[in-house]
Amino acid sequence: MSAQEQLTKLPLEAKSPFELRVNLGRSVPESDVRTALATGDMGFLHSFTTGSTVDGPGVRVVAWTTGCQFRCLYCHNPDTWTMSNGIPVTLDRATVELRKYRSGLKVMSGGFTLSGGEPLMQDRFAVKLLSAAQAMGIHTALDTNGSLGERLTDAELERIDLVLLDIKSWDPERHRQLTGMEVGPVLDFARRLAASKRPMWVRFVLVPGWTNQPENVAQIAKFTASLGNVERVDVLPFHQLGRFKWKELRLDYRLADVQPPALEVVEQACAQFRAEGLKAY
């Protein structure tokens, strides 16, 4: 069996995205990768997971893409940074996989979430897979860092029933230190979604010493409330579950000594969002 054929046999489903997966797409020729990115007929996925209740409304099937241009210091899935770590999956295979869950997802008022990594690194594949899901009557959500939002046309945004937008920090310098990238395009995408009244949830990771400053939370809360299209805010406490991946990948993990925030600190951040009239959990 050729290396390519073996890849088509690899199981897509993982128990959780915390499974470490590396180099699964390394044998795909560069020209095939370029064609895949241009056409969206093939994508690179870390895995599919089922039964999520935290990645959108109801119970969700989540496809985790590989490839991300951010380098968040707290990232719990750094194996998704590199596209070639993912399994090459044709659009047909991903669609067949999704179809298996169609009836169950409807019963559980759930849907399909495309997450990563950063799914818009593979924007053509993302659009085609989300469109296929929507055409099956499955609720669709995109979990994104937002900075590549300009890759989607307004018509393509209609294929996404809900955008889960991560806002990582308000302060531009702190955002750069935390992610290696600019916050401006993220906020621009949020404004665009608001202008076109697309449903949106905001996700905010509370990292002690990095994002928990009351002023930072207050500014994000104020901005989020001003948009008018945000249905809910998820305040996600920093955790250490991905620490082993940084070690395995020989990456410099700078947050090794950071403790998860105390419950009252998380509650305080939620209260700041609620004070702006938002639903926060």
- Distance between CA atoms of 213 and 76, rounded to whole angstroms? 22
- Which parts of 77-106 interact with ligand SF4 (CB under 6 A)? 77, 80
**Alpha carbon distance 73, 168 (integer Å):** 11
Residue range at the interface with ligand SF4 (CB under 6 A); choices 8-16, 65-73, 207-215, 216-224: 65-73
Closer Cβ to ligand SF4, 66 or 272, answer by number:
66
68 near ligand SF4, judged by CB under 6 A = yes
142 in Cβ contact with 130 (< 8 Å)? yes
Identity of the residue, 70 or 125, whose beta carbon is nearer to ligand SF4 in the bound complex: 70
- 72 near ligand SF4, judged by CB under 6 A: yes
CA 27/CA 236 separation, integer angstroms: 36
Q: Which of 2-10, 72-80, 124-132, 151-159 is the region at the interface with ligand SF4 (rule: CB under 6 A)?
A: 72-80
> CB of residue 9 vs ligand SF4: minimum separation in angstroms?
27
- Please say whether the beta carbons of 136 and 89 come within 8 A: no
**What are 166's strand-pairing partners?**
203
DSSP helix/strand/coil, 29: coil
- Least Cα distance to 247 among 81, 83, 79 occurs for 79
Number of amino acids touching ligand SF4 (CB under 6 A): 11
Binding window for ligand SF4 (CB under 6 A); candidates: 3-11, 14-22, 115-123, 262-270: 115-123
Contact 133, 98 (CB under 8 A): yes
User: Residue 145, interface with ligand SF4 (CB under 6 A)?
Assistant: yes
Residues that bind ligand SF4 (CB under 6 A): 68, 70-72, 75, 77, 80, 116-118, 145
